[in-house]
Every structure is written in structure tokens, then in C-alpha cells.
């Protein structure tokens, strides 16, 4: 069953390459949060209450609800663009993400390690590559943060891949990353958005002190 | 017994276009025509005479006939539960796909035969989309071949064992893919809107602008048959072979009806894609079929 | 006894020069029929009885006797090339008739002499095993095909294309020779093909195979060695283009297959290498074919695509042998080898039809043609047959070879090896894309050239072919339909050839029930078409049939040719999707300036270039020329300077000798 959810996760990554609307990106983050909850719950052998609440909080509450709602409000308040413009056409993105998924799969088959659970590893590689590709392709910093959050999801899966139990430290670190990333974006968009109209990184790269 | 499947497919092909129209009408709050209205239209067309353009040649007259014949012979391959199709051999889905290909070839050149810019547009787009759709079907069939270790249509469907969640996921994705392939091949939403009147945005409708009479009747019949073709394939995914014959017949008809209703619902609630986005949409289906393949590899590796 | 007749025919070819121009083609045809008859008899004997035919051709050839040896591989290729060369000769009679008044007797004589000797040298290529003799006849084949290509030598582009062709053939020749020499030096065995087997047993196979692959690949037209093909085919007269695409490039495939009979190690690497090169060749070939404007150049790129398909079959077969999957091996090889025959048939048919179009309209440019089906119905119908066959559509022969390869691929999925499964997936995707693109390409060609209304005055004056020009096309057409509807016989024939590579083909060759089912399905299809046609005829007798102009949405008054689709527009949505590093269209037009209130007339031109040729051939050549031009300061044109150079050279030698350097 866990593998089924992983496949659904990879399908959401493909949908990310396919769609062009920013609202959909946020929706995908929500779906991924839910899927990660399912995967984590099914995978962990022993679940005691503390860890269970931690997982629920991290995946459903933070990744699935809080962060998407926050991003959505940010988007609406600042009237950000509806379509995400990317430097390469979606056609190429779909090919690239499919290649990344296939690559993750092949890599996990080649590496036969006892400590490594191959199913999670392939999905995590795919998610990380997708996130990085996303950051490279898109011009808007808002979508950059979304790519960054996808990378965080990939790292979460990687933590599941290498261990059987729930590593508290790794997940706290992931939560901190998410928190900081979203916070910085929030501040940036709210404050900077009042002064400048553009969110394109080409324009922002010319900012001087 | 093999003939039973074929007969059922023909019956559903006569009903499906009507059900789609009624569903769309009801969703728009209209009363809708009767279920048999498309049939009456076809019967009327077959009785009528033809108007042939002076620019056209023999190709224009023979194109619809070859198209219709290709769809009928393709229908002979579709299995029905535990019974093979009337024609069945190893790797027959390759013959199936290329047979539909010769139908498309003839339709494209009969459209170009009229020398009209409109039909050229439709022919051009149809050629591109059919090229993009081919890999989806082959990867899907390849995945099934890998899963079941057989290679003919009948064997592929008969030997799917639903024993894990993953197989259910594969079947669900397979049904979804076949549904979307059916939409692309019949030029329905979101690739092409059959109700649009703007020639600049039509694909299939504009290719048959100059056809009339008997030829047009054949083309409309072929559309219904193509729907039944894919409905039959989807039904094979769904019903298990251990059930009794009557149960299988009922399930087959139910699946086809639900397929028609689903098509009608999809058409009512979707907008069509921007034309430039169509290739990307079809490519997405290819990627999904690639994921199906990866799933199957995972299953077969675990069985080792 | 037949051998003596063979040798007499060889000597008889000189008589071509002594006959009048009008009778040359008949004489050559007669000679070719004799040659084809003898070699065909030998080949059929070999294929049906499974024996090998050996005879001595010359008693003394550099010390040892020269043997000809016909095994099943040679026999198959001999039969293929006989058929296409005969149809080419029959076609040439009608095609060259307009040139009788323009060209003199020597040019005609040379052309027909070269044609006869091309046939002979190709037969000898297939039959000789001795290294030196093989190289000699290979070179003869290249030289005679060069002479044939530059028939219209008054045009500069023809000569340029011909010399390009000859140069590249020589480069390939050097690679092949290097391969033989390398094997000879390493093992000391006989300088022949059989000597290679000694080499391959002791040393790793891949490096020497690559050497031979480059040499034969230049002849076959694999990418990136294909750059001579798109120039040579339009430049040559059409019967030669048909022969070139049909069989000359297959000699490259013959060479590769011959070398492969001796290799038994490293098969997986070689197989994957051939497969990757072939998939790229197939895809790029058809991708370039779609954007061409010259009818024959388009067909040339399509030949490159089909060579890719043949290579895919061979690669899959090798992988099957390497991984011990007999189904994959047999079906892969069978598909690839059968495609050699199929491609020679439909490509020669397409080139002869294109030749007829060129002969009647004097243009090969797609944007100037159109509506030719009304003026040349027989040619159009035969071109349609060829187009349907080349797209691999049932019930014709192209489908059978592609079906064999697909069948092998999908049955090969039944084994659990992960690497094989991914290779099969990649190949299947590649093959489907190639098929889809080929359909796009040939609907475009057929509809732009033959359908619609004429796009310029050239097609208005066309007349249809007759007699000797229709006959070869009909012969090819009959074979196409025969292989499509009754493939069992041909697949069994190919099976003997496959037996050279795969040890045990008996099980698979016996289970050919699916072949008869394919025949059955094809016949059902054709029967249904016939029945529907009759029904419609009966129905149309009772109703009114009208004729009128095409519906033009109120534009009926204008010239209908103006708003029908052009070749560029048909390929446009494909071109926008294709990766820009493969297909780059250079658009030349002047944009509107702001102060131009009434725009002046403008023209628009798009040119798409072959990226590989651009980067691998043109750019290095330009760089080399730039450097060479720096040395041009020594070329002053003054004789006294040149004598001074010679004097300086003598002085240099003198001083070097004094100081004991040389």
C-alpha cells in the first residue's frame, strides 16, 4: 500500500511539471502533505503517541494545511501572477520530470544496500530533482519557494528510506527549514511587494543596497 | 461465443453517442434528444446522395470506406472476458494499433484532397496528435505484457490477477489512460470540442467538412464504433473472468453505459485546452503510462 | 558451367559502347537478366537446401585462387539486389529517353556500362570473401556509382554532390581496409573475412567491430555518417536514386552482418551500441525528412530512417543472443533482415514515382506541385502504395517487418532481467515514435504533391507514364502486396539467414501460425473494403450525385490554390515542437518599420538545415579552410618564386645531410 502512495506522489510531481497555474502548485503541496502522512504512518513499525502526534503535526497540519493556506493568502493579498512563466516550455518539463522519475527508479535498483529501502529512495530522488529543476526553470521567487518545499518533501522521504524508526532530529530540522523559508518569503513579499511591482528574479537580481 | 462479444460491442456502439448527447443535455438543463437520434441521423445520411467537390479525386471517395473498415476489423480483436476476439494472435495489439493507423492515414489524405485550408488545418493537427498518442498505447500494453508474461490481447486481460493494491492502481491508471486515449482518438474534449463551430479550432470536425451522404454516415458510425472499441477494452480491465456469463454480459453493458455517461460528464464540465497546449497534455499521458510501466517492474521484481 | 557464362557476360559488357543510344538500355537489361538468372539460381539453391555454394572464379589472384562463396546471407542479398537493379534498368529506358538528344554517345555509353558493372561489382561484393578482392570490388562499386550519380554533370551541384559522395565512400573504404589490415597484423591469418574469425576468437571484439562499423556505416548511412545521402540522391537521376536507396546502402548493412557472423563475444555491448545508434538514426532521419522541400531529399532522409529500423532489428537480435533469449534474437534479426528486402521494394517504388513526377513537371520543389493525381493517376496510386508500405501499415510489407520486431520486443518482456526490460521499453518507444513521424511525413508528401490544386503552372502540363516506366513500379507493387498478404514464405526464407546468428531457430520458425492469422486478418480487411464499395455503388445508383467546388466559407471566388495548405504549414506544428538543436528554421523576411504606412511587397523564406551536417562537416571544413588560407601566401603564381622554393628545398636537404640529420 505504501508503494501505491509513493506512485501517487510521483504522479503529483508530473502534474507539477504539467500545470502552469500557481494555485495548482499550492494544491499539489497540500496533496503531498496528505500523502506523506499516509506513507509515514504505514511505514513506521512502532508508533507511540508522541511520535504519532509529531508526524501528524508535521505532515498534515504544517505541510498539508498551514503552509498552503499561508501561501495562498500571500498570493491573493499581493495579487501575484496567475500563471507561472518558465524558461522552458511545459513539454520539456514533462520530459525532464519523467526522466527524473525513471532515473530515481533505476538508481534505487542499482544500489542494493541493506539499510536502504529502495522504494522511498527512488521517490525521494525524483522529488529532489524535481524541486531543483523547478527552482532553475521558473522566474518568480514565489514558485522558487514552492520548489524548495518540494525538496523538503524529498528529504523527508529520504529520512524514511534510511531508517526504520522515526528520527526526531531530522524531522525537526526539516520543520525548521520549512518555517524559515516560508517566513522569509512572507516578509519579503509583504514588505518588498509594496515597493516593487515585479517578482521576477531577473529584476530582483539588479537590486542593490 | 466469440461472436457474442462482437455483437454486444456493435449494440453499445449504436447506443453510446445517444447517451453522451443525453448526458450533456441533462447537465445543461435541457431535455435532450432520444437515445436513438444519432442512429436516425445516420440512417438518413446513408439514404442521401452525395456532393463531391471538383477538386477531389478517388482518394476522397475511398477514404471513409477504408476508415470504417479499419475500425470494424479492429473491433474484431477486442476480447470479451474469457472468450477471445474473433481474430486473436500473439502481439495482435500491434496489428490493432497500426490498423487504426491506416484509417487515420486515409482520413488525413482525404481531408487534404479537398484543397481547402480548413481541412488542411485539421489534417495537420490530427497527424501530430495521433503520432503523440501511439506511444501511450504501446507502453500500456507493454506493461501488461510484462505483468502477465503473455502478449495477445486476450491473454493479457485474462491473466491479470488482482492480488495487491498495486495491481488495482495499475488497473485504475490503465482505465484512465484508455479513457483519455478514447477522447483523443475521437477528438472530444479536452483536445477538440465537437460542438464548436469555429473552423480555426476544429480538428476532426473540420476534416470531414466536405463529406456528405453515405460517406458521412459511415464516418459517424465509425465514431460510435471507436467508442465501443475503447469501452470494450476498459470493460476487459474491470470484470473478473470467474463470473458467470450472464454477469459478464451485464457488467459489459454497464461499463459501456458508464463510459458513455463519464464521457458526457467530462465534456460538460471541462473547457477545451488551448490548441498549443494539446501536445503537452498528450505527453502527460505518456508519462503516466511510463509510471504504470515502472509499477509493473516493481511488481515483477518483487515476485522474483 | 554457369560460371563460364557469368564470366562471358562480364566480358560482354564492353559491347555497350558499340551499340546505338536507343538500344543500350535493352542490351544492358539483357546482360543483367543473364547475371540475375545465374546468381538467382545459385541463391535460391542455397536458401532452399541450406548448403553453401563455392566455386573458383579466377585461378590465380595474387598467388592464390579466388573463390566465390554464397551462403544464405549472400544469397538473400543477391536476390534483393537483383530485383531492384532489374527494375531500375527497366525504368531507366523511359526515364533517360528525353536525354537521348542532349547527351552524346560516350556519356550514355559510360552510364550504361557503369550500370552493368555496378550490378556485377555488387554481386561480387556479396560473393567474395578474400580481403583484397573484396576491397577491390568495393572500390569498384563506389567508383561506378559515382559515375552513375554525375550523369547530369552540366549542373554544378550534381558534380559537387557526386564528389562529396565519392570522398565519403573513400573514407569508409579506408576504415574497412584498416580493419582488415589490423586483424591481419594481429593474427597473421589469411587476409580475408574468414581470417577475421581467428581474430575475433582471441581478442576483444568491440574495437575492431567499431572500425568496421564506421566503414560500413558510412555506406549504409547511419547518423552521423549520413551527410552524403541527402545530397547524392537528389543529384542522381531517379533510377539511380532508387537503386542507391534500395540496394547500394544495403551493402553497408551486408558488410556489418558479414562481420557479425564471426563475432561471438562482447555481443551485449555491440548490440546496445548498434541499437542506440539505430534509434537515433531512425528518429533523426524521419525528423529531418518532415521539414524538407525537395521531394527526393525527403525520400533520402526517409531512407536514413529505414536504415535505422534495420539497425534496430539487428541490435535487438544481438541483445537477444547475448542474453540468451532466443525469441528476441530470432524475431529481431528476422525483422531487420526482412526490412532490407521491404525497404528496397517500397523505396525504389517511391523514387521511381518521384522520378516520373520530376520528368513530367521539371521541378522537385514541393511548394510548386499539387493536384497531380488528376494528371498522373497511375503514378499517384503507386506512390500511395509505397507511402502506405513505408509507414508500416497493414496489409503491406512494411508492417510485417515492423511487426516481427515488435513481436520480438513484447515477447522478450517475459523474462525478468531489468536491464533487458528497460532496453525493450526504450526501443518500443523509439519505434512507435518513428512510425508516427513517418505517417506524418508521408501524409504530407502525398497530399502536397498529388492532391489539392496545383500550386504553380508546372503540374498543369504533366502527363502520365506509360509502358516501360510503369512496369517496374507495378513489379515492386506486386511484391509489396505479396509480402504483406502472404508473409509466411518470405519469413521462412529470412529464417535461413537468421540461422547464421542464432543457434536454434527451429522452435520459433515452426510456430508461424500468427503469420497465417495476419494474412487472414488482412484479407478480411480488404474484403470488407470491397463489400462496402459495392454497397455504396449500389446505393449511389438510386440517388443524386452532384459536383461543386470545395466549401470555402464565402472565399470561393479566389484562386483555390492560394488558401490550401502548403508543405511548410503542414509541417509547422511539428517543427515548433521539435527540439531547436535538431531542427532550426532560418526565417528570412523584412519586418515592418514604423514609418511604413503602406507596406511594400515582401517575401518570406524559411530554410531548415541539417544540424549534424552543419556541425560535423561544414564548421570543421570552414575552420580548416581558414587555416589553409594562411598558407596561401606561398602561392604567388610567379614561376620564379616556385623555382626559388625548389632551390631552397635542395639547400635544406644539403645542409641536413652535411650535419648528419638525415
Find which of B168, B172, B279, B294 to mutate to test the A interface (most A CBs within 10 Å of its CB).
B294
Q: Which domain holds residue B77?
A: 2-303
Please write the tens of the pLDDT for every residue from B181-216: 999 888 888 888 877 777 777 888 888 888 888 889
When CB atoms are compared, the residue of A10, A89, A119 closest to B291 is A10
Contact by Cβ (8 Å): C483, C404: no
C-alpha cell at A94: 514533462
Q: For residue C355, is it within any domain?
A: yes
Has residue A62 been placed in a domain? yes
For residues B240 and C311, the model is more confident at C311
B294:A102 CB<8 A: yes
**Three-state secondary structure call for residue C586:** strand
Cβ atoms C12, C31 nearer than 8 A:
yes
Q: Chain centroid to CA A1: how far?
A: 22
Helix, strand, coil distribution of chain A in percent, nearest 5? 80, 5, 20
Nearest to C394 among B89, B95, B127 (CB): B95
Q: What pLDDT, on the 0 to 100 scale, is given for residue C640?
A: 86
Q: What is the separation of C-alpha A26 from the centre of its chain, rounded to a whole number of angstroms?
A: 10
Is the per-residue pLDDT at C190 higher than 80? no
CB contact under 8 A, B115 and C569: no
End position of a domain, from candidates C505, C529, C549: C505
Mean pLDDT for the stretch of residues B36-58 = 88
The full DSSP string for A132-183 is HHHHHHB-BHHHHHHHHHHHHHHHHHHHHHH-SS--HHHHHHHHHHHHHHHH
pLDDT interval class at B148 (50, 70, 90): confident
- Structure confidence by residue, pLDDT tens digits, C90-132: 898 888 888 888 888 888 888 888 999 999 999 989 888 888 8
| Mutation site for B-interface testing, chosen from A105, A112, A130 by largest number of B Cβ within 10 Å | A105
Whether the pLDDT of residue C76 is over 60: the answer is yes
Q: Which residues contact C502 (CB under 8 A, 6 or more apart)?
A: C317, C320, C321, C326, C329, C330, C333
Q: Distance from CA of residue B179 to its chain's centroid?
A: 8
**DSSP β-bridge partners for residue C154:** none
Confidence band (pLDDT; 50, 70, 90) for B304? very low
Residue-level pLDDT at C508:
64
Q: Is residue C455 part of a domain?
A: yes
Instruction: Kindly determine whether residue B288 and residue A14, on different chains, have CB atoms separated by under 8 Å.
Output: yes
What are the residues facing C68 on neighbouring strands? C55, C128
Is the preceding omega at residue C224 within 30 degrees of 0, hence cis?
Answer: yes
Is C533 a residue whose pLDDT tops 80?
yes
- Whether A50 and chain C come into contact, CB under 8 Å, resolves to no
* Strand B51-53 to C546-548 pairing: parallel
ipTM: 0.93
DSSP H stretches of helix in C631-661: 639-658
Q: Are C89 and C40 in contact (CB under 8 A)?
A: no
**What digits encode the pLDDT tens for the residues A62-92?**
778 888 888 888 888 877 777 877 888 888 8
Q: Nearest-CA distance from B227 to chain C in Å?
A: 20
Same-domain check for residues C486 and C629: no
- Residue B252 CA to residue B5 CA, distance in Å, equals 9
Number of domains chain C contains: 2
What number of CA atoms fall less than 13 Å from residue C358's CA on the CB side? 23
Q: Is C188 left (phi over 0), alpha (psi -120 to 50) or beta?
A: left
- The residue with greater pLDDT, A51 or C305, is C305
Place of cell 516550455: A89
Please tell me the predicted confidence (pLDDT) of residue C131: 83
C115-147 burial code (b ≥16 CB/10 A, e <16)? bbbbbbbbbbbbbbbbbebbbebbbbbbbbbbb
In a domain, C546, yes or no: no
Q: What is the mean pLDDT of chain C?
A: 86
| Chains adjacent to C (≥3 CB pairs closer than 8 angstroms) | A, B
The answer to whether the CB atoms of C393 and B91 lie below 8 A apart is no
From chain C, the residues in CB contact with A91 under 8 A are 577
Q: What share of chain C is helix, strand, coil (3-state, %, to 5)?
A: 75, 5, 20
pLDDT over threshold 90, residue C277: yes
Q: Which residues of A touch C422 (CB under 8 A)?
A: 106
pLDDT at C350 over 90: yes
Over 80: is that where the pLDDT of C85 sits?
yes
pLDDT digits (tens, 9 = 90+) for C59-75: 666 667 777 888 888 88
- What are the grid coordinates assigned to C198, written together? 581467428
B284, A105: Cβ pair inside 8 Å?
no
**What pLDDT sits at residue A205?**
65
Rounded-to-integer distance, Cα C175 and Cα A17, Å? 46
A91·C418 Cβ contact <8 A: no
Residue B292 has pLDDT above 70, yes or no: yes
- Domain boundary at C462, C484, C505, which? C505
pLDDT band at C596 (very low <50, low <70, confident <90, very high): confident
Question: Which of C490, C505, C520 corresponds to the end of one domain?
Answer: C505
In terms of residues, how long is chain A?
A: 209
Using a CB-CB cut-off of 8 Å, the residues of chain B touching A101 are 287, 290-291, 294
Q: At which residue does the C-alpha cell 453517442 appear?
A: B17
Spatial distance between the Cα atoms of A141 and A163, rounded to a whole number of angstroms: 34
B3-21: average pLDDT: 88
Same domain, C304 and C428: yes
Predicted local confidence at residue C445, as pLDDT = 93
User: Does residue A127 form part of some domain?
Assistant: yes
A200 Cα to chain C: minimum distance (Å): 26
Position C311 pLDDT exceeds 90: yes
Task: Decide if A209 is inside a domain.
Answer: no
pLDDT of residue B19: 92
Quick one: closest CA in A to C577, which residue? A91
Residue A162 CA to residue A160 CA, distance in Å, equals 6
Domain with A12, as residue range(s), is 2-204
Is the pLDDT assigned to residue C274 strictly greater than 90?
Answer: yes
Q: Do A106 and C577 touch (CB under 8 A)?
A: no
Q: Regarding predicted confidence, which is higher, C72 or A163?
A: C72
Q: State whether C422 and A106 contact (CB < 8 Å).
A: yes
* pLDDT tier at C216, thresholds 50, 70, 90: very high
Q: C-alpha C296: how far from its chain's center?
A: 12
Mean pLDDT of B53-68: 90
CA B282 to mean position of chain CA atoms? 15
Indicate whether C571 pLDDT > 60. Answer: yes
For residue C39, tell me if it sits in a domain. no
Chains near B (3 or more Cβ pairs under 8 Å): A, C
Spatial CA neighbour of A15 closest among A81, A76, A72, A93 = A93
Cβ atoms within 10 Å, residue C590: 11
Count how many domains chain A has.
1
Residue C155 lies in a domain: no
What's the grid cell of residue A118?
A: 529502495
Tell me which residue in A7, A8, A94 faces B284 most closely, judged by beta carbons. Answer: A94
How many domains, in total, are found in chain B?
A: 1
| All three cell numbers of C573 | 506544428
Alpha-carbon Rg for chain C, nearest whole angstrom, is 27
In three-state secondary structure terms, A86 is strand
**DSSP per-residue string spanning chain B:** -HHHHHHHHHHHHHHHHHHHHHHHHHHTT-----TTHHHHHHHHHHHS--EEETT--HHHHHHHHHHHHHHHHHHTT--BTTB--SS--TTHHHHHHHHHHHHHHHHHHHHHHT--HHHHHHHHHHHHHHHHHHHHHHHHHHHHHHHHS--SHHHHHHT----SHHHHHHHHHHHHHHHHHHHHHTT-TTT--TT---GGG-SHHHHTTT--HHHHHHHHHHHHHHHHHHHHHHHHHHS-TTS-HHHHHHHHHHHHHHHHHHHHHHHHH-PPPPGGGHHHHHHHHHHHHHHHHHHHHHHHHHH-
Q: Name the residue range of residue C474's domain.
A: 267-505
What is the model's pLDDT at position B212? Answer: 84
3-state secondary structure of C565: coil
Determine the pLDDT at residue B68. Answer: 94
Does residue A46 surpass a pLDDT of 60? no
In a domain, A114, yes or no: yes
Euclidean distance between CA atoms C427 and C320, whole angstroms? 13
Interface of B with A (CB under 8 A): 165-166, 168-169, 277, 279-281, 283-284, 286-288, 290-291, 294-295, 297-298, 301
- Find cell 502534474 and name the residue: A15
pLDDT of res. C574: 87
Chain A partners within 8 Å of C577 (Cβ): 91
What pLDDT does A82 receive? 79
Output the pLDDT for position B236: 83
The per-residue pLDDT for C12 is 79
Residues C620 and C477 occupy one common structural domain: no
Average the pLDDT over B280-294 and give the result: 91
Amino acid at each position: 500500500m505504501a508503494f501505491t502512495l509513493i506512485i501517487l506522489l510521483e504522479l503529483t510531481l508530473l502534474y507539477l511539471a504539467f500545470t502552469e497555474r500557481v494555485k495548482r502548485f499550492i494544491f499539489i503541496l497540500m496533496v503531498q502533505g496528505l500523502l506523506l502522512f499516509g506513507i509515514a504512518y504505514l511505514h513506521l513499525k512502532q508508533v507511540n503517541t508522541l511520535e504519532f502526534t509529531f508526524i501528524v503535526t508535521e505532515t498534515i497540519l504544517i505541510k498539508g494545511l498551514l503552509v498552503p493556506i499561508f501561501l495562498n493568502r500571500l498570493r491573493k493579498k499581493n495579487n501575484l501572477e496567475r500563471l507561472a512563466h518558465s524558461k522552458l516550455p511545459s513539454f520539456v518539463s514533462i520530459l525532464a520530470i519523467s526522466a527524473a522519475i525513471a532515473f530515481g527508479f533505476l538508481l534505487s535498483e542499482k544500489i542494493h544496500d541493506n539499510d536502504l529501502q529502495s522504494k522511498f529512495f527512488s521517490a525521494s530522488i525524483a522529488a529532489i530533482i524535481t524541486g531543483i529543476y523547478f527552482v532553475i526553470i521558473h522566474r518568480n521567487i514565489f514558485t522558487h519557494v514552492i520548489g524548495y518545499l518540494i525538496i523538503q518533501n524529498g528529504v523527508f522521504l529520504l529520512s524514511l528510506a534510511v531508517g526504520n524508526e522515526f528520527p526526531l532530529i531530522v524531522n525537526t530540522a526539516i520543520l525548521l527549514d520549512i518555517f524559515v523559508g516560508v517566513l522569509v518569503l512572507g516578509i519579503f513579499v509583504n514588505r518588498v511587494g509594496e515597493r516593487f511591482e515585479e517578482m521576477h528574479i531577473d529584476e530582483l537580481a539588479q537590486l542593490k543596497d | 461465443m466469440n461472436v457474442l462479444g462482437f455483437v454486444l460491442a456493435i449494440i453499445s456502439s449504436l447506443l453510446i453517442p445517444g447517451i453522451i448527447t443525453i448526458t450533456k443535455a441533462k447537465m445543461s438543463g435541457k431535455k435532450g434528444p432520444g437515445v436513438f437520434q444519432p442512429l436516425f441521423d445516420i440512417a438518413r445520411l446513408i439514404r442521401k446522395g452525395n456532393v463531391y467537390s471538383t477538386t477531389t479525386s478517388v482518394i476522397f471517395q475511398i477514404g471513409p470506406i477504408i476508415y470504417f473498415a479499419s475500425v470494424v476489423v479492429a473491433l474484431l480483436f477486442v476480447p470479451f472476458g474469457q472468450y477471445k476476439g474473433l481474430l486473436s494472435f500473439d502481439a495482435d495489439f500491434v496489428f490493432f494499433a497500426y490498423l487504426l493507423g491506416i484509417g487515420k492515414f486515409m482520413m488525413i489524405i482525404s481531408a487534404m484532397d479537398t484543397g481547402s485550408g480548413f481541412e488542411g488545418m485539421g489534417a495537420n493537427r490530427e497527424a501530430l496528435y495521433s503520432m503523440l498518442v501511439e506511444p501511450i498505447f504501446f507502453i500500456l500494453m507493454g506493461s501488461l505484457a510484462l505483468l502477465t508474461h503473455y502478449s495477445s490481447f486476450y491473454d493479457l486481460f485474462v491473466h491479470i490477477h488482482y492480488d495487491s493494491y498495486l495491481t488495482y492502481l495499475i488497473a485504475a491508471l490503465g482505465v484512465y489512460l484508455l479513457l483519455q486515449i478514447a477522447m483523443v482518438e475521437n477528438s472530444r474534449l479536452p483536445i477538440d470540442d465537437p460542438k464548436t463551430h469555429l473552423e480555426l479550432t476544429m480538428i476532426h470536425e473540420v476534416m470531414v467538412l466536405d463529406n456528405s451522404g453515405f460517406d458521412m454516415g459511415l464516418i459517424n458510425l465509425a465514431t460510435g464504433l471507436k467508442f465501443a472499441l475503447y469501452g470494450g477494452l476498459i470493460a476487459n480491465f474491470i470484470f473478473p473472468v470467474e463470473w458467470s456469463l450472464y454477469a459478464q454480459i451485464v457488467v459489459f453493458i454497464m461499463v459501456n453505459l458508464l463510459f458513455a455517461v463519464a464521457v458526457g460528464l467530462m465534456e460538460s464540465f471541462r473547457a477545451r485546452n488551448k490548441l498549443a497546449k494539446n501536445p503537452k497534455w498528450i505527453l502527460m499521458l505518456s508519462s503516466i503510462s511510463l509510471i504504470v510501466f515502472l509499477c509493473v517492474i516493481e511488481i515483477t521484481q518483487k515476485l522474483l | 558451367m554457369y560460371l563460364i557464362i557469368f564470366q562471358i557476360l562480364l566480358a560482354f559488357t564492353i559491347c555497350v559502347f558499340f551499340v546505338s543510344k536507343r538500344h543500350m538500355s535493352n542490351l544492358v537489361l539483357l546482360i543483367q537478366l543473364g547475371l540475375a538468372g545465374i546468381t538467382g539460381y545459385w541463391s535460391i539453391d542455397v536458401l532452399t537446401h541450406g548448403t553453401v555454394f563455392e566455386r573458383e572464379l579466377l585461378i590465380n589472384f595474387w598467388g592464390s585462387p579466388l573463390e566465390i562463396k554464397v551462403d544464405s546471407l549472400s544469397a538473400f542479398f543477391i536476390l534483393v539486389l537483383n530485383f531492384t537493379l532489374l527494375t531500375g534498368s527497366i525504368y531507366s529506358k523511359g526515364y533517360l529517353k528525353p536525354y537521348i538528344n542532349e547527351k552524346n554517345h560516350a556519356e550514355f555509353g559510360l552510364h550504361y556500362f557503369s550500370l552493368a558493372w555496378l550490378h556485377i561489382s555488387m554481386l561480387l561484393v556479396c560473393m567474395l570473401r578474400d580481403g583484397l578482392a573484396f576491397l577491390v570490388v568495393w572500390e569498384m562499386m563506389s567508383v561506378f556509382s559515382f559515375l552513375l550519380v554525375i550523369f547530369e554533370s552540366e549542373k554544378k551541384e550534381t558534380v559537387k554532390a557526386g564528389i562529396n559522395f565519392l570522398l565519403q565512400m573513400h573514407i569508409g573504404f579506408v576504415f574497412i581496409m584498416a580493419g582488415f589490415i589490423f586483424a591481419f597484423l594481429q593474427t597473421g591469418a589469411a587476409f580475408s573475412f574468414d581470417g577475421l574469425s581467428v581474430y575475433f576468437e582471441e581478442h576483444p571484439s568491440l574495437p575492431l567491430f567499431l572500425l568496421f562499423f564506421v566503414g560500413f556505416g558510412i555506406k549504409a548511412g547511419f547518423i552521423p555518417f549520413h551527410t552524403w545521402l541527402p545530397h547524392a540522391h537528389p543529384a542522381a537521376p531517379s533510377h539511380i536514386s532508387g537503386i542507391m536507396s534500395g540496394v547500394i546502402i544495403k551493402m553497408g548493412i551486408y558488410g556489418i552482418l558479414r562481420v557479425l557472423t564471426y563475432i561471438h563475444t562482447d555481443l551485449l555491448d555491440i548490440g546496445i551500441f548498434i541499437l542506440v545508434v539505430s534509434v537515433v538514426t531512425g528518429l533523426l532521419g524521419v525528423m529531418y525528412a518532415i521539414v524538407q522541400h525537395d521531394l527526393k531529399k525527403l525520400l533520402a532522409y526517409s531512407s536514413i530512417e529505414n536504415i535505422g529500423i534495420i539497425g534496430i532489428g539487428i541490435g535487438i537480435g544481438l541483445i537477444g543472443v547475448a542474453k540468451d533469449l532466443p525469441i528476441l534474437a530470432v524475431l529481431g534479426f528476422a525483422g531487420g533482415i526482412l526490412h532490407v528486402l521491404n525497404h528496397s521494394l517500397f523505396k525504389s517504388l517511391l523514387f521511381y514515382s518521384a522520378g516520373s513526377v520530376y520528368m513530367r513537371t521539371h521541378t522537385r520543389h514541393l511548394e510548386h506541385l499539387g493536384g497531380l493525381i488528376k494528371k498522373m493517376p497511375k503514378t499517384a496510386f503507386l506512390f500511395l502504395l509505397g507511402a502506405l508500405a513505408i509507414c508500416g501499415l497493414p496489409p503491406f510489407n512494411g508492417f510485417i517487418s515492423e511487426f516481427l520486431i515488435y513481436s520480438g520486443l513484447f515477447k522478450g518482456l517475459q523474462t525478468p532481467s531489468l536491464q533487458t526490460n528497460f532496453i525493450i521499453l526504450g526501443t518500443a518507444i523509439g519505434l512507435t515514435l518513428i512510425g508516427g513521424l513517418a505517417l506524418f511525413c508521408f501524409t504530407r508528401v502525398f497530399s502536397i504533391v498529388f492532391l489539392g490544386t496545383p500550386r504553380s503552372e508546372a503540374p498543369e502540363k504533366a502527363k502520365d507514364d506509360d509502358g516501360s516506366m510503369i512496369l517496374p513500379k507495378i513489379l515492386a507493387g506486386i511484391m509489396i502486396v505479396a509480402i504483406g498478404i502472404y508473409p509466411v514464405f518470405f519469413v521462412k526464407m529470412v529464417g535461413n539467414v537468421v540461422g547464421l546468428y542464432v543457434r536454434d531457430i527451429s522452435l520459433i520458425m515452426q510456430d508461424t501460425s500468427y503469420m497465417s492469422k495476419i494474412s487472414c486478418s488482412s484479407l478480411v480487411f480488404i474484403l470488407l473494403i470491397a463489400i462496402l464499395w459495392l454497397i455504396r455503388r449500389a446505393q449511389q445508383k438510386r440517388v443524386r450525385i452532384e459536383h461543386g467546388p470545395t466549401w470555402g466559407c464565402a472565399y470561393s471566388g479566389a484562386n483555390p490554390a492560394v488558401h490550401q495548405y502548403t508543405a511548410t504549414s503542414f509541417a509547422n506544428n511539428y517543427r515548433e515542437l521539435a527540439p531547436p538543436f535538431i531542427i532550426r528554421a532560418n526565417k528570412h523576411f523584412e519586418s515592418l518599420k514604423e514609418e511604413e504606412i503602406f507596406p511594400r511587397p515582401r517575401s518570406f523564406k524559411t530554410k531548415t538545415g541539417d544540424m549534424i551536417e552543419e556541425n560535423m562537416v561544414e564548421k570543421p571544413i570552414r575552420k580548416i579552410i581558414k587555416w589553409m588560407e594562411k598558407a596561401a601566401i606561398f602561392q604567388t603564381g610567379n614561376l620564379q618564386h616556385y623555382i626559388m622554393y625548389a632551390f631552397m628545398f635542395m639547400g635544406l636537404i644539403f645542409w641536413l645531410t652535411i650535419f648528419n640529420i638525415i
